[in-house]
Amino acid sequence: MQAVKVGVLGLGTVGGGTVNVLRRNIIDITRRAGRDIEITRAAVRSLDRSTICSTEGIVLTTDAMEVVNDPEIQIVVELIGGTELAHDLVLKAIENGKHVVTANKALIALHGNELFAKAQENGVTIAFEAAVAGGIPIIKAMREGLAANSIEWLAGIINGTGNFILTEMRDKGRDFVDVLAEAQALGYAEADPEFDVEGIDAAHKLTIMASIAFGIPLQFDKAFTEGISKISQEDVKYAGELGYRIKHLGITKKTEQGVELRVHPTLIPHRRLIANVDGVMNAVLVQGDAVGPTLYYGAGAGSDATASAVVADIIDIVRALTTDPENRVPHLAFQPDTLADTPILPMSEVVTSYYLRIHTQDKPGVLADITRILGEQGISIEAILQKQPEHHNGVVPVIILTQEIVEKNMDAAIKQIEALSSVNESVMRVRMESLG
Ligand code: HSE
C-alpha cells in the first residue's frame, strides 16, 4: 500500500519538531498506524532560513497554497499560526478534500464552528490535539476517555509562560517584568506576550475545552479574561501565609443558569496537586460525575512535546482514512446536530469566593466600615488579616478572604470600599476556588 503523504505548513519550532519526531519514531509509528507516513512537502517562510529538522526528501516551497493544492497530499498540517492566512489555507485544504491537523488554538477558538461544518460537508477531519496544553492528550481524554461522564467543571493551568512568571515570583521573589523577559528569551511566550499575560492564549484553549466538555459551540467572544500583570509580590506572599497559591487558571463550569467560561488569577489551596504545577508545565483538572476528579499534567509547549500531539493526530487520521466520515469521533465530542445553546454566563453572574487586599489608613473604625459594606452586600467573611503599617506611612494592608458570593455583589462592595476616604488605592481582588 502507498505511503500516506503529508504536507506541513511551517517548519518552525512545532513544524521542525513534527518532522524530527515522525522520523525518529517512524518504525513504531508505522506499526501503530498500519500505513507508511511520509512528509513530502513543506511550506517555509524563506528557503534560506535554517530549520531545526533535516529537510532531506521534503520538497520545500514558500507558497503554502502549493502544498494545499498538491493532489498527492492527503493530510495538511497547519503550523504557521495566526488566524488569517491559516484560516484561508485550512479552508482550501478542506475544500480540496484533505484532512487537516493544526496546533492553532486561536484558529480553532475563533473559526472552529465554521471550519468543522466545512470539514463535515467535505467528509474530512480537522484534528487539533496540539492546540490545547501542547503535548498533554487532553482532547483525546475528554472526547473519548471521559465520554461516559457528565463533565461538571474543569480547571487548567494552560499557559506555560504565565505559570513560569508566577512560579518565579513566588520562589525567587523576582519581579513580573524581569521574568517575562526571560520567558520570551526562552521561546515560551507568544509572538505578542500580551496573549500570555492577559489570558488570551488561555482563553482560546479554555473555549475549546468548554465546547468539548459541554457540547456547546465555540464562543471565544464570551470568555472572561483577566491577566496576571496586576499580581504583586505582596499578594503572592499573603496568599502563601494563608495556605494558598496564586495560579492563572482557565475555569469552565456547568451551572443551572449556564456555563461559566473564565480565565483569571486564582487562589487555590496549596495542598491541591494542581497548585504544585510549577514553571512552564501545564495541567488540567477535569471533574466527571462518574469518574470524579482526573488530572492531566505535562509540557504545554515546546518543539518535541507539541509535535507529540501533532504526530498522534496524524496517526489517528491515517487509521480513520478508510472509515465512514459519519462514524468518526465528532470534532467537539458531541454529534454536531446535538450541540446545545446553553448560555455562557456573564462574569457578573459567576459565584465564587474572594481574596481582597485593601490598603487603608491606620485609623479607628476603618475595619468596621469595610465589614459593614461587605455585610450589606451579603458577603460573609471567612478570614481576616491585618498586617503591620507599611514603611511607617500609616498605611495598613488588610487581607480578607470571603465566602462565596455572586460577582455583581462583590463589584458593588469593592466600589463602595474604594470610595471610603480612609482607603488609599484600588482594592486588589483575586477570585478563589477550592477545586475540591
Ligand atoms: N505561549 C504558550 C504558553 C505556548 O506559554 O503556554 C503554548 O500554547
Give the domain CATH number at 113: 3.40.50.720
Q: Give the cell for residue 18.
A: 513534527
Percentage above 70 pLDDT, the chain:
99
- How far is the C-alpha of 184 from the C-alpha of 191, rounded, in Å? 9
The enclosing domain of 220 has a CATH number of 3.30.360.10
Q: Give the cell for residue 301.
A: 509547549
Same-domain check for residues 271 and 289 = yes
Judged against a pLDDT cut of 90, whether residue 389 lies above it is answered with no
pLDDT at site 64: 98
Ligand 1 atom nearest to 158, measured from its CA: 6
Ligand 1 centroid distance, CA of 402 (Å): 32
In a domain, 200, yes or no: yes
Ligand 1 centroid distance, CA of 134 (Å): 8
In a domain, 346, yes or no: no
Percentage above 90 pLDDT, the chain:
87
Mean pLDDT of 193-201: 94
- How far is the C-alpha of 136 from the C-alpha of 130, rounded, in Å? 8
CB of 300 shorter than 6 A to ligand 1: yes
Please indicate whether residue 222 is annotated as part of the active site.
no
Same-domain check for residues 79 and 216 = no
In a domain, 436, yes or no: no
- Rounded to two decimals, the pTM is 0.96
Of 188, 198, 281, the one to substitute when testing ligand 1's pocket (max ligand atoms within 8 A of C-beta) is: 188
pLDDT at site 392: 67
The enclosing domain of 419 has a CATH number of 3.30.70.260
Total count of domains within the chain: 3
Same-domain check for residues 244 and 375 = no
Catalytic site residue from 205, 247, 253, 254: 205
Same-domain check for residues 77 and 205 = no
Same-domain check for residues 270 and 379 = no
In a domain, 130, yes or no: yes
In a domain, 322, yes or no: yes
The last residue of one of the domains, among 283, 299, 315, is: 299
pLDDT at site 363: 87
Residue identifier of the C-alpha nearest atom 4 of ligand 1: 301
In a domain, 75, yes or no: yes
Ligand 1 centroid distance, CA of 159 (Å): 5
CB of 102 shorter than 6 A to ligand 1: no
pLDDT at site 69: 98
Place of cell 503529508: 6
Q: What is the span of the domain harbouring residue 272? A: 143-299
Ligand 1 centroid distance, CA of 363 (Å): 46
Same-domain check for residues 10 and 81 = yes
Same-domain check for residues 92 and 80 = yes
Same-domain check for residues 334 and 280 = no
In a domain, 345, yes or no: no
CB of 198 shorter than 6 A to ligand 1: no
Burial profile 231-259: b = 16 or more Cβ within 10 angstroms, e = fewer: beeebbebbeebebbbbbbbbbbbeeebb
Q: Which of 224-238, 250-264, 358-372 has the highest mean pLDDT?
A: 250-264
Same-domain check for residues 267 and 164 = yes
Judged against a pLDDT cut of 90, whether residue 167 lies above it is answered with yes
Beta bridge partners of 282: 298
Same-domain check for residues 165 and 293 = yes
CB of 298 shorter than 6 A to ligand 1: no
Residue 415 banded pLDDT, cuts 50, 70, 90: very high
CB of 196 shorter than 6 A to ligand 1: yes
Is 253:274 a contact under the CB 8 Å cutoff?
A: no
In a domain, 48, yes or no: yes
Same-domain check for residues 270 and 384 = no
- How far is the C-alpha of 317 from the C-alpha of 75, rounded, in Å? 8
CB of 330 shorter than 6 A to ligand 1: no
Mean pLDDT of 122-149: 98
Same-domain check for residues 241 and 307 = no
